[in-house]
Amino acid sequence: MASRAVTGLFDAGTIADRWIADYCAPGRASDTLCARASGDEGWTAMLEELAAFVGDEPLDHARERAQRHAEDIGTGFRIAGEGEERPWPLSPVPLMIPATEWEGIASGVVQRADLFEAIVADIYGEGRLVAEGHLPAALVTGSPFFLRPLQGMTPPGGYHLQFIAADLGRGPDGEWRVLADHVRAPAGAGYALENRLAMSRMLGGLQTRLNIERQAPFFAAFREGIAALCRRSDPRIALLTPGRLNPSYAEQAHLARYLGLLLVEGADLTVIDDRLYVRTIAGLKRVDAVWRRVDPRLLDPLAFDSHSTIGVAGLVDALAAGSVVVANAPGTGVVESPAFAAFLPWLSQVMRGEELRLPTIATWWCGQERERERVADRLDSLVIAPAFGVAARGLPDGPALGNDLTEAARAALLADLARRPQDYVGREVVRLSTMPVVAGDGLEPRPFILRVFAARGADGKWTVLPGGFARIGEHPDPRAMVMGEGSWSADVCVHGPTSVEPVTLLPSGETMALRRNPGTLPSRVADNLFWLGRYLERGEALLAMLRVLLGNSISADSGAALSAATVRRLVDLVVAGGAAPAPASYRRSDLQQFVRAALEETDGWYSVRSINRQARLIGQISRERLAADMMRLLDAPFPTRGGLLDKAGSLQRRYSALAGLSSEHMARTDAWRFHDLGRRLERAMMVTRVVRGFSGADVTADDLSTLLDLADSQISYRQRYPTGMARVPVLDLVALDPGNPRSIAFQVQAIADHLAGLPVLSDDGIAEPQQALARELEAIVATARPTEIDEPLLARIDDGLARLSDAIGRRYFLQGAEPLRAAGLVLA
Amino acid sequence: MRYAIRHVTRFEYAEPAAFARCNLRLKPIDWPGQHLESYHLSVEPGGHTYPARAEAGLAHVVRLVVAEPARTLTIESTATVTVDRMIPVPDASDPTLGEIAIAARASRDMSAASPANYLFPSPLIPIDDEIAQWCAQELAPDRGALEAGIALARRIQNAFSFDTTATLVDTTPHEAFAKRGGVCQDFAQIMISGMRAAGLPAAYASGYLRTLPPPGQPRLVGADATHAWVLLWCGAERGWVGLDPTNGIWMASDHVLMAVGRDYADIAPIDGIVLGSGAQKMDVSVDVEPLETVAA
């Protein structure tokens, strides 16, 4: 068992003992901590570690530290309907469960998983449970997740379920019972993983001290379980996400990264001849299995809801053909209905001859005459809830305690209970026991729910994640939790006498085939990285223009005011780019207003702020491909302090840092190539446009100097031509000089090289259209004579770049899918 | 009665559609009192059709894949169907509404024809307070099921105006109810919503009406397009009884059933995915000709 023989922990031990004494003093006998068995050192050891971690600081700081760790790991979640992600609320006090107690929980969850598999297989297969009267047909058809098109279909490998979760409550007597089952697309395993990661950064010593069970073997078993059902030996497994706006998108991205799954959206996938493929930059690639986090009803617009835009047309056909594994199989959510709980004890007897090891919350389905009468009679002492999880007419505000209903609400409920009894269940009122959380400078009890996860391994047997995560209610009133609210999460540590071997998901070096290419790059990801590059480059270019305008026309003491004609040209460029409407006049106040608008207005204009927002949105959906520092810069709020020049300066530094990160920190993969392609193409377009604006026959020294500023080539020019401004040398440097990293020639060459380095669809050796276009453009620029740079040549380059952009889109990106950038902004 | 049915749907696309993958549920099902004698489906341009594996409602489904870019798509469905259905006569021995609700809840039938399948709100037909209250006037639990069913269908026909401009294909029952107007789909949805709110098993029927009435009778509303009406399950003896709220009549020998589902989404004659940009125009023409008169 745990020992305290660690140097320097004496003080921590005293503090922990005092915390426990204070906490348990007010007669909290049923609390999880206070009711621990004698000899169970888990809570004490954990609180000692916490005390040692906190040191002299108030306990409150532990909460902030836990929060910060969670943020660093990138854990976030979204409330449905909100645009912004929220940080994941992590409590610094984990829930401690001794291994002996855990065994009971785990075996109960495994029993449940096996039972669910048997029930689902019967419902979609033989149908004996209904035919023999063990289950009313209406209990099945009432579920919005009963999918009739799947009747008669056996999934490949024979299993419907690969991954389930259950919400458990601990009663005041210490007994665990199941409050809810999650079978459809159980969420939260990623949060359990992230909680553990954050906690091990805080309480690192606890792991070995208490022999805390590790999580990695569970996730490995889950992945192997899916792989075992696939026909190919090295299968490609994808995690199908509903997309960025899903409340647990961050969790899905994290799990995909951790499990080595390809994170895809419906638009990335296509079914051809009953096989599933992902669209990648190297063409269509077979997908063997899908872990879906998409609502099953939206999974296939041909089989289910034809309005679904997040599904894959034909996926159910591929499933029926046995060529793709879908975990969990669509339609399994039928057993999730609250009404199902009423039948589980009986079904366990009928199908497996067993009592349920974990009791389910006692439930009566009112679709049966006797049960309806019983519930109506005992309304005051029961919770009454919708039977199928969807709103019921008599419960406009969701589940309610009979006791809490007003006279009118009660009458309305009873009336609908008479008309549509099948829509209601009565449930016993569950009392939850508590666990400690940090409140102020001490610990306070809060009710909690434990979410447990189980996965099917390669041998077909279930493994339970040791731990899971606890959701902790905001209020001491346990009834709030029954309604499914949870405002804090905590790690769950299963600890025991057996020492735990360190394991991670990393296989040993000898068994791994070495590869330097990270593999499949979905077209959508390439598309996003390409546009991230374009937006960042465009923002940088616009900022450069605004800074020249600010520096020369607004700041009175700069002494370097530009001629009115040059200012006009600059304004025209900004307007042509759509950053802001043309100023009312060229007076200083109007110009200042113009620059402000181009910097931070957002109403439909393509200002720096709008560009930032677009870049950030793309960053969020590409997070599994971007460095954390890059995400932080993309997520940084728009500067609010200082004048326009300060804001522009601060933004410019941010853009430079982003450029530095992408050139120094991104591995030279195809993903990086697309990001850099976007940057190069946008820069080539911007420089071409600037040159077109500032190279006419009437060009002035001011114009040329501005051109050098905008192309960031002032210093190179002065070193080469100390005598001063001249048209041809300036144009040569910014347009044709392949040695100048800001020149058109340099960008075009880089683009051609990138395109040559990307995968081709055929091995016939013939250049693809975008490759040919790039080489053609490269030749035009390379053979142009500096003295002949004129409008027709520049127009030709401009047109060539636009065609190249189209060709890149056609060849590599999704066609027909709704791209993110369509939201409000149009790029030329 | 024997009918020759010709149902042509023509799509035009402003830009060529790159790819189409559709469900066609155009082939009429067999049903008590109704038998499909012959059937032919033709699609122009070609494309590939095959029977679909999975289906949500009672329908014959064919998948259509058109992999070549196309500016138009014409789908022609022709069928010969014999219909010999008596007009139901309500009887004092009919089960009451309350009895059929209980029987449907206790059903042990999991097939698509089971009343248990049609007890619940469905994606396009939610339960609606106002509709429920209005329909409840005809749906007292102790009333005979057939008598109450036809009374509700007639109440809807009287209170609502047939108005093709009032609603669109995606108008909700709630909106159509507020306007007291619409087309067959709106009336069927309102009636189903009201019946389900009362705990009754009510299904959405899609099909055809004979185009020209027998001599001396008025032309039925909805005969120049596909028609929609309601099926109410009236207990094991009576089975499914058809009620047409658009015309305030029973489903009898003038109605040809094409498919039955929880709502239109289960059995839309044509749905699916078309990849392309630009506008789409759709034209539908339906002809239902009696081939000969069966001696009454």
What is the DSSP secondary-structure string of A663-697? Answer: HHHS-SSHHHHHHHHHHHHHHHHHHHHHHHHT-ST
pLDDT value at A5 more than 60: no
The count of other CB atoms within 10 Å of the CB of residue A160 is 27
- Say if B119 is an interface residue toward chain A (CB within 8 Å): yes
What is the CB neighbour count within 10 angstroms for residue A74? 19
All residues of chain B having their beta carbon less than 8 Å from the beta carbon of residue A413 are none
| A815–B199 C-beta distance less than 8 A | no
Look up residue B96 and give its DSSP letter.
B
Q: Find chain A residues with C-beta within 8 A of B272's C-beta.
A: 301-302, 306, 313
Q: Chain A closest CA to B237's CA: distance in Å?
A: 19
Q: Identify the band that residue A267 occupies on the pLDDT scale cut at 50, 70 and 90.
A: confident
Residue A240 CA, chain-centre distance (Å), reads 11
Which one-letter amino acid corresponds to residue A585? S
B127 in reach of chain A (CB within 8 A) = yes
Alpha-carbon separation of residue B126 from A156, A645, B65, B156 (angstroms) = 35, 57, 32, 18
Model pLDDT for residues B78-102, shown as the tens digit of each residue: 999 999 999 999 999 999 999 999 9
Which chain B residue has its CA at the smallest distance from A412's CA? B129
**Contact A816/B at CB under 8 A:** yes
Q: How confident is the model at residue B125 (pLDDT cuts 50, 70, 90)?
A: very high
What gap in Å lies between CA A429 and CA A415, rounded to an integer?
A: 23
Residue A32 binned pLDDT confidence (cut-offs 50, 70, 90): very high
Backbone angles phi, psi at A154, to 5 degrees: -105, 125
Which of A304, A306, A818 is the best substitution to test chain B (most B C-beta atoms within 10 A)? Answer: A306
The pLDDT score that the predictor gives to residue A313 is: 87
A370 touches chain B (CB under 8 A): no
Confidence of residue A110 (pLDDT cuts 50, 70, 90): very high
Whole-number Å distance between alpha carbons of A290 and A263:
10
- pLDDT for res A513: 54
**Residue-level pLDDT at A818:** 33
* Chain-chain contact of A302 with B106 (C-beta, under 8 angstroms): no
Q: Give the pLDDT band of residue A363 (cuts 50, 70, 90).
A: very high
**Mutation choice for A interface testing from B13, B22, B105 by most A CBs within 10 A:** B105
CB B140 within 8 A of CB A167: no
Taking the Cβ of residue B106 and every Cβ of chain A, the question of whether any pair is shorter than 8 Å is answered with yes
pLDDT in tens, A325-346: 999 999 999 999 999 999 999 9
Q: What is the CA radius of gyration of chain A?
A: 32
**Nearest residue of B to residue A422 by CA position?**
B105
Q: What is the DSSP letter of A551?
A: I
pLDDT band (50, 70, 90) for residue B293: low
pLDDT of res. A819: 27
The residue-averaged pLDDT of A24-34 equals 88
Distance of alpha carbon B51 from alpha carbon B61, whole angstroms: 6
- Which residue is closest to A420 within chain B, CA to CA? B199
What's the whole-number mean pLDDT along residues A174-184? Answer: 93
Q: What's the pLDDT band for B275 if we cut at 50, 70, 90?
A: confident
> Residue B52's pLDDT is what?
80
Q: Is the per-residue pLDDT at A820 higher than 70?
A: no
Residue B112 and residue B57 in contact, taking contact as beta carbons nearer than 8 Å: yes
Q: Please name every residue paired with B137 in a beta bridge, in sequence order, or none if there are none.
A: none
* Alpha-carbon distances, residue B283 vs A306, B2, B13, B74 (angstroms): 20, 26, 12, 9
On the question of pLDDT at A385 being above 70, the answer is: yes
Chain centre distance of CA A651: 26
Burial pattern A632-663, b for ≥16 Cβ within 10 A else e, equals ebbeeebbeeeebeebbbebbebbeebeebbe
Among partner residues A136, A314, A320, which is closest to B105 by beta-carbon distance?
A136
Among A814-828, B103-117, B153-167, the range scoring the smallest mean pLDDT is A814-828
Does residue B194 have a pLDDT over 60? Answer: yes
Q: Can you tell me the distance from the alpha carbon of B43 to that of B67, in angstroms, rounded to the nearest whole number?
A: 13
Q: Name the nearest CA neighbour of A74 among A256, A234, A205.
A: A256
CA nearest B20 in A: which residue?
A313
> Looking at beta carbons, which residues of chain A come within 8 Å of B113?
none
Closest CB to A141: pick one of B57, B120, B199: B120
Contact B23 A302 (CB under 8 A): yes
User: Mind listing the pLDDT tens digit for each residue in A547-605?
Assistant: 888 876 544 444 457 788 888 899 999 999 889 999 998 888 898 899 999 999 887 78
Q: Where are the domains of chain B?
A: 2-83+268-292, 97-266
The C-alpha of B194 sits at a distance from chain A's nearest C-alpha, in angstroms, of 11
Selection from B222, B246, B234 nearest residue B118 by Cα: B234
Query: Which domains does chain A possess?
Result: 98-338+432-501 (no CATH), 362-427 (3.30.1490), 523-822 (no CATH)
Portion of chain A with pLDDT greater than 90, in percent? 54
Closest CB to A131 among B57, B104, B108: B108
Q: Would you call A313 and B273 a contact, using CB atoms and an 8 Å cutoff?
A: yes
Write the pLDDT tens digit of every residue in B54-85.
Answer: 677 799 999 988 888 888 889 999 999 999 99
Distance CA(A168)–CA(B154), nearest Å, equals: 52
Tens-digit pLDDT profile for residues A156-171:
989 999 999 999 999 9
pLDDT tens by residue, A126-138: 999 999 999 999 9
Q: How far apart are CA A66 and CA A93, in angstroms?
A: 9
Q: Which residues does chain A have within 8 Å of residue B23's beta carbon, measured at their own beta carbons?
A: 302, 306
Is B23 in the A-facing interface, judged by CB distances under 8 Å? yes
Q: Which residue in B53, B57, B268 is closest to A317 by CB distance?
A: B53
**Looking at the complex, does the CB of residue B199 fall below 8 Å from at least one CB of chain A?**
yes
Cβ of A136 within 8 Å of Cβ of B110? The answer is: no
Q: pLDDT-based confidence at A723, cuts 50/70/90?
A: confident
Distance in Å, alpha carbon of A411 to nearest chain B alpha carbon: 15
Average pLDDT in chain A: 87
Residue of B nearest to A125 (CA): B110
Interface test with A, best of B97, B108, B135 (most A CBs within 10 A): B108
pLDDT of A700: 87
* Chain A closest-CA separation from residue B197 CA (Å): 7
Backbone angles phi, psi at A466, to 5 degrees: -70, 105
How many of the other CB atoms lie within 10 Å of CB of A132? 10
Segment among A366-375, A643-652, A739-748 with least mean pLDDT: A643-652
Chain B residues close to A148, C-beta within 8 Å: 55-57, 112, 117
Rounded Cα distance between A315 and A299, Å, is: 7
String of DSSP letters for A429-457: PPPP-EEEEEETTEEEEEEEEEEEEEEE-
User: What pLDDT score does A502 carry?
Assistant: 63
CATH architecture designation of domain B2-83+268-292: Sandwich (2.60)
CA–CA gap between residue A154 and residue A325 (Å, rounded): 11
pLDDT tens-digit readout, A212-240: 888 889 999 999 999 999 988 889 999 99
Q: Name the residue facing B119 among A138, A150, A816 (closest C-beta).
A: A138
pLDDT at residue A671 above 70? yes
Q: Do A141 and B114 touch (CB under 8 A)?
A: yes
**pLDDT value at position A66?**
83
SS3 state at A568? helix
CB A241 within 8 A of CB A263: yes
Residues 411-430 in A contacting B (C-alpha not used; CB under 8 Å)? 419-422
pLDDT digits (tens, 9 = 90+) for A603-627: 778 999 999 999 998 988 887 788 7
The structure tokens listed for A741 are: 């990293």
Q: Buried (b) or exposed (e) across B263-282, using 16+ Cβ within 10 A?
A: bbbbbbbbbbbbebeeeeee
Spell out which residues of chain B touch residue A316, defining contact as CB-CB under 8 Å: 53-54
Residue B268 touches chain A, beta carbons under 8 Å: yes
- Interfacial A residues in 384-403 facing B (CB < 8 Å): 388, 390, 393
Asked if A301 and B272 come within 8 Å (Cβ–Cβ), the reply is: yes
In the numeric block, the tokens 């366990």 are attached to A348
Report pLDDT for A804: 95
Residues B224-233 have a mean pLDDT of 92
Q: Is A310 an interface residue toward B (CB < 8 Å)?
A: no
Span B287-291, mean pLDDT?
89
Specify whether domain B97-266 bears CATH 3.10.620.30: yes
Checking if the pLDDT of B257 tops 90, the result is yes
Q: Across the interface, do B123 and A305 touch by the CB < 8 Å criterion?
A: yes
Show contacts of A18-21: CB within 8 Å, 24+ apart: A19/A47, A19/A51, A19/A442, A19/A443, A20/A44, A20/A47
- The predicted-structure confidence for A405-459, as pLDDT tens digits, reads as follows 999 999 999 999 999 999 999 999 988 889 999 987 889 999 999 999 999 999 9
Indicate whether A307 pLDDT > 80. no
Q: Give the pLDDT of residue B156.
A: 97
The share of chain B scoring above pLDDT 90, in percent, equals 68
Half-sphere exposure of B3 (CA within 13 A, CB side): 31
Interface test with A, best of B263, B273, B274, B275 (most A CBs within 10 A): B273
Nearest beta carbon to residue A136 from set B52, B106, B199: B106
Q: Which residues contact B128 (CB under 8 A, 6 or more apart)?
A: B173, B174, B177, B193, B197
Mean pLDDT of B171-175: 94
* Residue A501: per-residue pLDDT: 67
Q: Please tell me chain A's helix, strand, coil percentages from 3-state DSSP, rounded to the nearest 5.
A: 50, 15, 40
Pairwise CA distance, residues A272 & A269, whole Å: 10
Closest chain A C-alpha to B63 CA, distance in angstroms = 9
